[in-house]
Structures are given as structure tokens and as C-alpha cells.
């Protein structure tokens, strides 16, 4: 029988999916160190759901998608362990990070949540600049002490009391598969951010429609050194700026 200490050190990996057949197997193969894998799928049509259901180590359920925060909180509710490692299907946990996660939760004194830096992959090669060099997200945290704040519907915020710790090893993020795929993500995020802004009473202005996308590009390309990423930097900085443009374009439609 497991001791109370051993039970406290158990960890659940939690993922939400939609049409992730191109990357889900790599993601799942990288989290074999956890005690439970929970995946909530929002009715994939590319074979993802069938693959998940056939995997003996995965607790897979389907749930309608309303927004990222609601979907992630629902997935979180299904996990049976207090320690959670919440990752996206296009992410991979390298062996060095696996070891650090297990060593971290085995400590006597832990933070309620931990920041995890990420390496951004442009297809199969790492992108070193363009604003992604300091990219970090909350991935490891205790379910009993944290929740995704309900007032954000995209790029959700994890709420907890006190300070967060930092994991040293980086998570690998395969966000850029090809141009059209990444463009679709940026446009989708832009529309969701517009809905969020609309519900929070934000106004559309001509200034925000044109200045903010231009500033996003120049900031990422010059200040955040996207210029050093060559052609890849131009593509990423442009598409990220396009997402900002889409946000205000959609906000204008919602306001009218």
C-alpha cells in the first residue's frame, strides 16, 4: 500500500486536444513518467480521438469546446492526483525535464506552481529569437492550490497564492508546423482575444487597429531580435502581428 508521502508525489499529465494527430503520439510518448494521463478532446475529426481511445494508458473523454479556460478547468477536474503537469499536444517533455519534474515534486518544500521555459520549434528547427527566447508558461502545479482564472478565454492565467518557482529545463514547443497551420492559430487566437476584449468592454479605435499590429511586428523583429532568425523571423513576427490585426478587426465587427 502506498504511503501518504508516495501518494502526495503522484502526478497527472493533463492535455486538451482538437485534431492533433500529427503530434499527439510524440507528446504522449514523452510523458510516460507520470502516474495518470487525462486527455479531453473536443470532437476531433482527424483520427485523434480514435487513437486516444485505443491507448491503454490514457483516460480520454470528449467535451464540447467553449473556450480554453473552461476546457482546461474541466480537464483539470478529471485528474485524480494533486500534482498536475498540464501541457499542449504540440509540446514534448525531454528526459532532462522529466527528471527535474520528479525531483521537484519529491521535495519537502515546494511552490504551488512552477514556470516552465519553452524552446520554440520552427518545424523541426529551434527558433532562437523573435520574442520566443524568454517564453515561459505555468505547466507544473498543485491542483488543490491553483485554478485557471475564469475571466480569460484564451492564453489563460493560472491563479494561486504566493510565489511560483521555476523549472530550469525547457519544454519543447512544436507550434509551427507550416505557414497555413500557424496562420490559422494566430487568426483563431486573435478572434478569441477580440471576444474577450468585447466582453470586458474594450473599444475599437483606428489607432489600435493599425498601430498595435505594426508595433507588434517591429518590437518582435527589432527589439526582440527576430532579425537574427532570418526568413523564419520575418514569418513569425508577421504572423504574430497578423493575430493582433485580426483581434481588432474582429472587435470592430462585434462593436458594430
pLDDT, tens digit (0-9, with 9 covering 90-100), for 84-122: 999 999 999 999 999 999 999 999 999 999 999 999 999
Length of the chain (residues): 256
Among 4-8, 140-144, 228-232, which stretch is predicted with the lowest mean pLDDT?
A: 4-8
pLDDT at residue 150, as a whole number: 80
pLDDT at 230: 96
The arithmetic mean of pLDDT across residues 184-200, rounded, is: 93
Contact (Cβ atoms closer than 8 angstroms) between residue 76 and residue 146: no
CB-based burial, 179-206: b 16+ in 10 Å, e otherwise: eeebbebbbebbbbbbbbbbeeebebee
Q: What's residue 3's pLDDT?
A: 60
Residue 1 pLDDT > 70, yes or no? no
Residue 7: pLDDT over 80? no
Nearest residue to 158 via CA among 143, 175, 176:
143
Question: What's the rounded Cα separation, in Å, for the pair 105 and 102?
Answer: 6
- Please give the grid coordinates belonging to residue 164: 511560483
Average predicted confidence (pLDDT) for the chain: 94
DSSP 3-state assignment of 209? Answer: helix
**What is the pLDDT at residue 252?**
96
Closest CA to 247 of 209, 218, 219, 217: 209
Q: What confidence category does residue 2 fall into, taking pLDDT thresholds of 50, 70 and 90?
A: low
Give the residue-averaged pLDDT of 10-25: 97
Is domain 4-176 given the CATH code 3.90.550.10 in the classification? yes
Mean pLDDT of 174-197: 94
Q: Residues 193-210: what's their mean pLDDT?
A: 93
Long-range contacts of 187-192 (CB under 8 A, 24+ apart): 187/242, 187/243, 187/246, 189/154, 189/155, 189/243, 190/242, 190/243, 190/244, 190/245, 190/246, 190/247, 190/249, 190/250, 191/246, 191/247, 191/250, 192/67, 192/68, 192/153, 192/154
**So what's the pLDDT on residue 118?**
97
Say whether pLDDT at 134 is over 80: yes
Is 157 strand, coil or helix? coil
Answer yes or no: are the C-beta atoms of 185 and 133 closer than 8 Å: no
Q: Does the structure show a pLDDT above 70 at 5?
A: no
Break the chain into its structural domains and give their ranges.
4-176, 179-255
pTM of the full predicted structure?
A: 0.91
Amino acid at each position: 500500500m502506498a504511503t501518504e508521502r508516495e501518494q502526495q508525489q503522484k502526478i497527472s499529465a493533463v492535455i486538451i486536444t482538437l485534431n492533433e494527430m500529427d503530434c499527439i503520439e510524440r507528446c504522449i510518448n514523452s510523458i510516460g513518467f507520470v502516474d495518470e494521463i487525462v486527455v479531453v478532446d473536443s470532437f476531433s475529426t482527424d483520427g485523434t480521438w480514435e487513437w486516444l481511445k485505443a491507448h491503454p494508458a490514457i483516460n480520454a473523454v470528449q467535451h464540447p469546446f467553449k473556450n480554453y479556460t473552461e476546457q482546461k478547468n474541466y480537464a483539470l477536474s478529471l485528474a485524480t492526483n494533486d500534482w498536475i503537469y498540464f501541457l499542449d499536444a504540440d509540446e514534448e517533455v525531454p528526459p532532462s525535464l522529466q527528471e527535474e519534474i520528479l525531483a521537484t515534486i519529491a521535495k519537502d518544500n515546494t511552490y504551488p506552481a512552477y514556470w516552465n521555459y519553452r524552446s520554440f520549434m520552427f518545424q523541426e528547427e529551434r527558433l532562437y529569437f523573435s520574442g520566443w527566447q524568454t517564453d515561459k508558461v505555468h505547466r507544473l502545479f498543485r491542483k488543490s492550490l491553483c485554478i485557471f482564472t475564469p475571466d480569460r478565454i484564451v492564453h489563460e492565467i493560472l491563479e494561486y497564492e504566493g510565489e511560483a518557482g521555476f523549472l530550469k529545463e525547457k519544454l519543447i514547443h512544436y507550434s509551427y508546423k507550416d505557414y497555413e497551420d500557424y496562420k490559422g492559430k494566430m487568426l483563431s487566437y486573435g478572434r478569441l482575444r477580440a471576444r474577450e476584449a468585447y466582453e470586458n468592454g474594450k473599444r475599437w479605435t483606428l489607432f489600435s487597429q493599425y498601430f498595435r499590429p505594426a508595433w507588434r511586428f517591429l518590437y518582435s523583429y527589432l527589439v526582440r531580435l527576430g532579425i537574427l532568425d532570418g526568413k523564419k523571423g520575418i514569418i513569425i513576427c508577421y504572423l504574430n502581428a497578423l493575430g493582433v490585426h485580426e483581434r481588432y478587426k474582429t472587435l470592430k465587427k462585434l462593436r458594430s
